[in-house]
């Protein structure tokens, strides 16, 4: 049970990190876009 809980937490952490990096990447792309235009 504890192992399963850890696996779920790990998955959630990875998912959140992916969401954050996607958001940061979008922000960077947005800034570059405004710089270029």
Within its chain, how far is the Cα of 10 from the centroid? 14
Among candidates 21, 20, 18, 15, which has minimal Cα distance to 7? 15
Q: Is the pTM of this model over 0.75?
A: no
19-36 pLDDT per residue, tens: 999 999 999 999 887 766
Task: Tell me the average pLDDT across 1-27.
Answer: 92
Tokens 């779920």 — which residue? 8
37 has a pLDDT exceeding 60: no
């Amino acid at each position: 049970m504890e192992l399963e809980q850890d696996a779920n937490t790990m998955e959630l952490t990875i998912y959140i990190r992916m969401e954050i990096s996607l958001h940061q990447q979008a922000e960077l792309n947005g800034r570059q876009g405004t710089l270029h235009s």
